[in-house]
Amino acid sequence: PVYLDHNATTAPAPEAVEAMLQALRQDWANPSSMHAPGQAARQRLGAARAALARVIGCQPAELVFTSGATESNHAAVLGALSRGRALGRTRLLLSAVEHPGLLGLAERLRAQGTPVDLLPVDARGVVDVDAAARLIGPDVALLSVMAANNETGVCMPLQALSVLARAHGVPFHVDATQALGKCTLRFDASGADLWSVSAHKLHGPKGVGALVIRKGLDWPPLIGGRQERHRRGGTENAPGIAGFAAAATRVAATLEADLPRIQGLRDRLAQRLRQRVPALVVFGEGAPRLPNTLGLRFGTLDAERVLHALEREGIVASSGAACAAGGTEPSAVLLAMGCTPHEARAGIRFSLGRDTTDTDIARTLAAVERAIVPLLAELAAAA
């Protein structure tokens, strides 16, 4: 099929697979062992850490490897609450459009008594900095706002938020999972204190990611144990980390050439769809957006119907809505942007990647013509 779901995950790069196989076949010893095979594994780990730090824009010692961005996000929030206890900082401030894993954690913490404030977004999906300025205070343990939203691709005003956080002595966590490899944003230029990333969004393996912790920031261990300078225990996922580094290095090498090409394809898709479907609404228009992401709705045509119709035509995409017992749950991101539940249930996401071709876009447009335009006509006739 034509794969337009790169924000969900990406195909592992051959470089990543090769690096993983080498780590598995040759340097499989425990990197903590003192013998020569252990030291060889340790050296490979160090090389991967250095390579990733270059791509992310941090120091190697600031990188803590995790099992993925979900764990990194948890470590940021739970670490902030643990650190904040002694400082009288007990409240969480995060955007209303964070990843479901993070919002779910905040919800559970709230139910257990942690004060949580959600920052609203405007109609384009951009976090409201004025609201952040009103809500931040000396009792805040963490400000957490993603770099770019997974459903709309909308990029958040990190500079303004980091200035605000710094002025109030609040650690600033950025979930950069969707930004790494899809734009030129780097940790060192962002003003963030903490930074979550995940390998599988940029052609690396699943189940490995990192939390960048700014040098000098006192942070509790994520998981007990000696590894990762006592910050995240457990024998390192050396093959995963090697794959992550190889994938990131490959992405960084061609990013400048890939991004304009991907954006060109994304914009052509949007423009042609708009010509054909007057009821088309593109999410996040007018806001800075990732070049690969096209969040939209075909009028109020239900996302589930659209996705099934497209898949029958060989096109795979996704929606922010979650299928739940008794029907589709509307996307929380789109609701936060002011969509009605009916509109939010119609949200579709096309996310392109470096392997997306002109032909893929042409096939997608043809599929919409064959499968979606008739559905829209049906809907209009029924109304």
**318 near ligand PLP (CB under 6 A):** no
Binding ligand PLP by CB under 6 A: which of 152, 178, 292, 364? Answer: 178
In the complex, the smallest distance separating the C-beta of residue 176 from ligand PLP, rounded to whole angstroms, is 8
Which residue number, 89 or 196, has a Cβ lying nearer to ligand PLP?
196
What does residue 24 show for φ and ψ, rounded to 5 degrees?
-75, -40
**320 near ligand PLP (CB under 6 A):** no
**152 near ligand PLP (CB under 6 A):** no
**240 near ligand PLP (CB under 6 A):** no
Q: Which of 87, 86, 79 is nearest to 219 (CA)?
A: 79
Which residue number, 150 or 331, has a Cβ lying nearer to ligand PLP?
150
Q: Pick the piece of the chain touching ligand PLP (CB under 6 A) from 80-88, 171-179, 219-227, 231-239.
A: 171-179
Binding ligand PLP by CB under 6 A: which of 177, 318, 351, 356? Answer: 177
**68 near ligand PLP (CB under 6 A):** yes
Residues facing 280 on adjacent strands: 298
In the complex, the smallest distance separating the C-beta of residue 177 from ligand PLP, rounded to whole angstroms, is 4
**351 near ligand PLP (CB under 6 A):** no
Residue 319 tokens, joined: 């929606």
Q: Pick the piece of the chain touching ligand PLP (CB under 6 A) from 62-70, 135-143, 181-189, 233-241.
A: 62-70
In the complex, the smallest distance separating the C-beta of residue 146 from ligand PLP, rounded to whole angstroms, is 5
Which residue number, 198 or 249, has a Cβ lying nearer to ligand PLP?
198
Tell the residue number behind the tokens 């690969």, with chain if given: 292
Tell the residue number behind the tokens 């029907």, with chain if given: 327
Residue nearest ligand PLP, Cβ-based: 68
- Distance (Å, whole) CA 50 – CA 68: 18
Contacts 24+ apart (CB under 8 A), 357-361: 358/265, 360/2, 360/4, 360/265, 361/265, 361/268, 361/269
Which residue number, 211 or 315, has a Cβ lying nearer to ligand PLP?
211
- Distance (Å, whole) CA 252 – CA 335: 34
In the complex, the smallest distance separating the C-beta of residue 155 from ligand PLP, rounded to whole angstroms, is 12
**331 near ligand PLP (CB under 6 A):** no
Binding ligand PLP by CB under 6 A: which of 69, 140, 290, 346? Answer: 69
Which residue number, 201 or 231, has a Cβ lying nearer to ligand PLP?
201
Q: Which of 90, 112, 116 is nearest to 103 (CA)?
A: 116
- Distance (Å, whole) CA 270 – CA 282: 8
Which residue number, 168 or 232, has a Cβ lying nearer to ligand PLP?
232
Q: Which residues contact 253 (CB under 8 A, 6 or more apart)?
A: none
Active site residue 339: no
- Distance (Å, whole) CA 27 – CA 47: 13
Q: Pick the piece of the chain touching ligand PLP (CB under 6 A) from 65-73, 220-228, 337-345, 353-361.
A: 65-73
Which residue number, 37 or 101, has a Cβ lying nearer to ligand PLP?
101
**175 near ligand PLP (CB under 6 A):** yes
**70 near ligand PLP (CB under 6 A):** yes
**293 near ligand PLP (CB under 6 A):** no
CA geometry: angle 260, 181, 274, nearest 5 deg: 45
Residues near ligand PLP (CB under 6 A), total: 12
In the complex, the smallest distance separating the C-beta of residue 70 from ligand PLP, rounded to whole angstroms, is 3
- Distance (Å, whole) CA 284 – CA 268: 16
From the list 58, 155, 183, 323, the catalytic residue is 323
**150 near ligand PLP (CB under 6 A):** yes
CA torsion sign for 263, 268, 273, 279 is positive
Q: Which of 383, 382, 364 is nearest to 309 (CA)?
A: 364
Residues that bind ligand PLP (CB under 6 A): 68-70, 99, 101, 146, 150, 175, 177-178, 198, 209
**Residues tagged active-site:** 323
